[in-house]
Amino acid sequence: MTGMTMDAAVGAYLFVLGLVLGSFYNVVGLRLPRGESVVYPPSSCGSCGMSLRARHLVPVFSYIATCGRCAGCRTKISPLYPAGELATGLMFIWVYGLHGYTEGLLTGLLLVSLSVMVTVADLKYMLIPNKLLLLFLAPLAAAVSLTSELPIWNHALGALAGGAVLLLIVIVSGGGMGMGDVKLFTLLGLVLGLPLVFLALIMACLAGTVIGGALLLTGRIQRKQPVPFGPFLAIGALAAYGYGTAIIEWYITLFM
């Protein structure tokens, strides 16, 4: 098997794996904030209570086949479900493109997984569960310590800086941002280290401005309506993780 064929095969496997795991990540993001088990009871329609069979649970394709409606009562299904599945699959491929089949792949896959679960939970409930962050703390810390080219103290400072900056924003804004965001960015700072944690915040604010502005212009949200910031922190962290070094080097060349 040639290298290109191998890459295609691994990419296809990771895409399918991402779709399947993305379906589970939806369940975690929707149930964990409510204090419910992520394995029981089995998935069912939130409107009519019909238990979902295997053919209703095929990631993305089941949503397309049913035209985005419950097979029983025909109630519309939130597009958040297939979006989470597809995003996970595509980002798994993206991480593989960044690292190939190396140790760094694990850190990227964990970061993507955390980002999807946080996004689902925060969009649905405007809440980032402590249990979710604690679940990822040890695996991400271990992955970073084993694979990063930076010293571990750099990542520790990244965590401290990320948490401190967002805590300061919470204090200054009088609660305009939640403590869940502070804890999340502390964990993301641990993964990114310095100086990428600061770039991640800039990218998060930029994403929030662009997407929030678009939602405001289209009438999807109203002025002064609370908007969850966790998804934007995830976007900023992923952008910094994938392209942060290149962005910083490009910026420096502007002043050389």
Q: Cβ atoms within 10 A of the Cβ of 254, count?
A: 6
Residues with Cβ within 8 Å of residue 246, at least 6 apart in sequence:
none
Share of the chain above pLDDT 70, in %: 90
Q: Where are the domains of the chain?
A: 1-126, 148-256
Phi-psi region of 225 (alpha: psi -120 to 50; beta: other; left: phi over 0): beta
Distances (CA, A) of 99 to 9, 151, 234, 238: 16, 19, 19, 14
Sign of CA dihedral 48, 49, 54, 58: positive
CA distance 205 to 235: 10
Confidence of residue 175 (pLDDT cuts 50, 70, 90): low
Confidence of residue 94 (pLDDT cuts 50, 70, 90): very high
- In the DSSP assignment, the letter for residue 221 is S
Residues with Cβ within 8 Å of residue 232, at least 6 apart in sequence:
204, 205, 207, 208, 211
pLDDT per residue over 204-247, tens digit each? 999 999 998 888 888 787 777 788 999 999 999 999 999 998 99
CA distance 184 to 206: 18
Residues with Cβ within 8 Å of residue 190, at least 6 apart in sequence:
140, 141, 144, 155, 156, 158, 159, 162
CA distance 204 to 192: 14
pLDDT per residue over 38-61, tens digit each? 877 667 666 666 666 666 677 888
Q: Is the pLDDT confidence value at 28 over 60?
A: yes
CA distance 241 to 179: 23
In this prediction, residues 15-31 reach a mean pLDDT of: 93
In this prediction, residues 10-28 reach a mean pLDDT of: 92
Do residues 185 and 229 make contact, with C-beta atoms less than 8 angstroms apart? Answer: no
pTM for this predicted structure: 0.91
Q: Is the pLDDT confidence value at 180 over 90?
A: yes
Do residues 9 and 93 make contact, with C-beta atoms less than 8 angstroms apart? Answer: no
Q: Is the pLDDT confidence value at 160 over 80?
A: yes
CA distance 160 to 7: 37
